[in-house]
């Protein structure tokens, strides 16, 4: 039942000549799971279609943005409607004001917001602002969290950095690395120790309030509130990186779900509806440090791009006005997770599954996964085999153990059944 991938293979051969590794973002290369990446041609709803005409049920959804499924009519219409205006003005537009107001109304802690073009830009800018605001240099991040490819974050980073075994990237200077302190996720005591060892030097603590980049890891009870209390006490800026979780786990993100408010929030993915967009925002007082009001410089030729704003506005407005999307996502993801547990029971397997809302990960380990160290107990060989068995059955998963899956609203009950049938067969094939 082997699928034909000849065209993808031809394109990959060509691509490797002209693009580093043949891809424009490392995890796409399938390095962690072996084999060759598939080249996609189109997508609609829950499905991806590759260059060889194969179709796949998509459980990545462009790594999060396509929460409503691919080629959603509301977003496509918004893009079409924006086209006759201009592709770019480089001047302020009404749409940017509406976008800022909408974000502020949806994300509980955000009082002012600046649009950028990616999650990486959002996090890089946020820590610069936190440093400028506090007059301190150091930041604390957590092992296995990924915050984009900014120099300060490529220390014990998750996602592609761990997948490819380059957690501490060449090209990051020692000076920059020295200003990034790391602690194990879910370990408040370790954070306290770092703060004590660096008195009045820590500008910010940045974290994924629910981690997607070492697989899905859930914040332990009290962890987020504990960080909130520490930051308040020590005058540290608490930054929730909600690039994945924003508008996904609830319309107000993880901060709404857990009822803990950060000082700053970084956003990406869903906020662009599939277009390249990011944003960072937070308390008015902190955001007033940003130029041209304050001295912290940050800018962007294409920031607030009209087409990207229209796509993003359409996505956010739809989510804001259709709370039933979140109910559906929860129900369908519960079904995928519970069904996988039943399949494992049937096969005598006892792997760990973590889930929050429409994000989940199956770890090929029997240990609870609560941080980077426990995530790394997963059997990567088994994961790779499982990945390819699923792909052969038309299910497109993230090609690394250290990534979460993202469920879209286009996944119906019947498609969930199809997933679970493939899951049972694929798990069996790994035995
Ligand atoms: N922060 C988090 C939590 C992310 O998951 C990512 C990307 N997956 C980023 C930041 C970087 O975003 P981008 O890839 O858009 O630069």
pLDDT (mean) for 126-140? 98
Closest ligand 1 atom, CA of 211?
A: 3
Closest residue by Cα to atom 13, ligand 1, is 119
Distance 350 CA to ligand 1 centre (A): 31
Look at residue 329 and tell me whether its pLDDT is greater than 90. Answer: yes
* pLDDT tier, 5 (very low <50, low <70, confident <90, very high otherwise): very high
pLDDT at 169: 82
Q: What is the 3-state secondary structure (H, E, C) of 393-429?
A: CCEECCCCCCCCEECCCCCCHHHHHHHHHHHHHHHHH
**SS (HEC) of 27-83:** HHHCCCCCCCCCCEEEEEECEEEECCCCEEEECCCCCCCCCCCECCHHHHHHHHHHC
**Is the pLDDT assigned to residue 166 strictly greater than 80?**
no
Tell me the CA end-to-end span of the chain in Å, nearest whole number: 19
The domain locations on the chain are 6-60+323-429, 73-321
CB-defined site of ligand 1, < 6 Å: 63, 118-120, 123, 146-148, 159, 208, 212-213, 241, 243-244, 268, 278
Does pLDDT of 100 surpass 60? yes
The model's confidence at residue 167, banded by pLDDT at 50, 70 and 90, is low
| Local structure of 110: helix, strand or coil | coil
Angle at 107 between CA 294 and CA 61, to 5 degrees: 110
Per-residue pLDDT, averaged over 372-390, amounts to 98
Closest CA to 267 of 24, 28, 99: 99
Both structure tokens of 158: 């998750």
Average pLDDT over residues 135-144: 97
Report CA dihedral (45, 46, 49, 53) to the nearest 10 degrees: -100
Residue whose CA lies nearest to ligand 1 atom number 2: 147
- SS3 assignment for 338-380: HHHHHHHHHHCCCCEEEEECCEEEEECCCCCCCCHHHHCCCCH
Q: Using the predicted structure, report yes or no on whether residue 1 has a pLDDT greater than 60.
A: no
Answer yes or no: is pLDDT of 421 > 70.
Answer: yes
Taking the centre of ligand 1 as the mean of its atom positions, its distance from the CA of residue 148, in whole angstroms, is 5
| 286-307 mean pLDDT | 98
> Which residues face 48 on adjacent strands?
43, 56
Q: What is the ipTM of this complex?
A: 0.99
For residue 243, how far is its CA from the centre of ligand 1 (angstroms)? 6
The length of the chain is 431
Q: pLDDT band at residue 163, thresholds of 50, 70 and 90?
A: low
Mean pLDDT of 97-118: 98
How many angstroms is it from 367 CA to the middle of ligand 1? 27
The mean predicted confidence, pLDDT, of the chain is 96
**Residue among 153, 159, 207, 243 to mutate when testing ligand 1 (max atoms within 8 A of CB):** 243
The pLDDT value given to residue 158: 78
**Which run of H or of E encompasses 192?**
helix 188-197
The closest-lying atom of ligand 1 relative to the alpha carbon of residue 242 is: 3
Contact 55, 49 (CB under 8 A): yes
Ligand 1 center–CA 319 separation, angstroms? 21
Architecture of domain 73-321: 3-Layer(aba) Sandwich (3.40)
Q: Looking at the predicted structure, is the pLDDT value of residue 110 above 90?
A: yes
- Residue 25 CA: nearest ligand 1 atom is 14
Two tokens, residue 250:
């609830």
* CATH entry 3.20.20.70 includes domain 6-60+323-429: no
Chain centroid to Cα 224, Å, comes to: 18
Per-residue model confidence (pLDDT) at position 147: 97
Of ligand 1's listed atoms, the one at least distance from the Cα of 121 is 16
Q: What is the pLDDT of residues 196-245, one digit of tens each?
A: 999 999 999 999 999 999 999 999 999 999 999 999 999 999 999 999 99
Q: List, by residue number, the catalytic residues.
A: 146, 241, 269
* pLDDT classification of 165: cutoffs 50, 70, 90: low
């Amino acid at each position: 039942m082997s699928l034909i991938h000849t065209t993808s293979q031809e394109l990959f051969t060509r691509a490797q000549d002209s693009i580093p590794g043949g891809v424009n973002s490392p995890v796409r290369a399938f390095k962690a799971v072996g084999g060759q990446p598939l080249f996609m041609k189109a997508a609609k709803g829950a499905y991806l279609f590759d260059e060889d005409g194969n179709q796949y049920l998509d459980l990545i959804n462009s790594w999060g943005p396509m929460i409503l499924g691919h080629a959603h009519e509301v977003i496509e219409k918004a893009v079409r409607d924006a086209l006759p205006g201009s592709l770019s003005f480089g001047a302020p537009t009404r749409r940017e004001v509406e976008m800022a107001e909408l974000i502020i109304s949806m994300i509980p802690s955000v009082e002012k917001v600046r649009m950028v073009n990616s999650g990486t830009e959002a996090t890089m800018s946020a820590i610069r602002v936190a440093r400028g605001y506090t007059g301190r240099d150091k930041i604390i991040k957590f092992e296995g969290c990924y915050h984009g490819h900014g120099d300060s974050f490529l220390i014990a980073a998750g996602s592609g950095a761990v997948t490819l075994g380059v957690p501490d990237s060449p090209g990051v200077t020692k000076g920059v690395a020295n200003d990034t302190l790391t602690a194990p996720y879910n370990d408040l005591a370790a954070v306290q120790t770092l703060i004590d060892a660096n008195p009045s030097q820590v500008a910010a603590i940045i974290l994924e309030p629910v981690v997607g980049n070492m697989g899905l890891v859930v914040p332990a009870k009290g962890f987020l509130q504990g960080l909130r209390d520490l930051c308040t006490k020590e005058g540290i800026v608490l930054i929730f990186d909600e690039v994945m979780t924003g508008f996904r786990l609830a319309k107000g993100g993880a901060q709404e779900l857990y009822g803990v408010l950060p000082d700053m929030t970084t956003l990406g993915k869903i906020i662009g509806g599939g277009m390249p967009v990011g944003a960072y925002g937070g308390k008015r007082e902190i955001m007033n440090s940003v130029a041209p009001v304050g001295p912290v410089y940050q800018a962007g030729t294409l920031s607030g791009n009209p087409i990207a704003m229209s796509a993003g506005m359409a996505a956010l407005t739809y989510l804001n006005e259709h709370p039933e999307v979140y109910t559906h996502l929860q129900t369908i993801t519960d079904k995928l997770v519970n069904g996988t547990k039943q399949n494992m029971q049937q096969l005598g397997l006892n792997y760990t599954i973590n889930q929050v809302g429409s994000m989940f990960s199956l770890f090929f380990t029997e240990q609870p996964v609560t941080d980077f160290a426990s995530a790394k107990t997963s059997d990567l060989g088994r994961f790779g085999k499982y990945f390819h068995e699923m792909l052969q059955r038309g299910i497109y998963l993230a090609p690394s153990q250290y990534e979460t899956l993202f469920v879209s609203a286009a996944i119906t009950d019947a498609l969930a059944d199809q997933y679970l049938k493939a899951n049972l067969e694929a798990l069996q094939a790994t035995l």
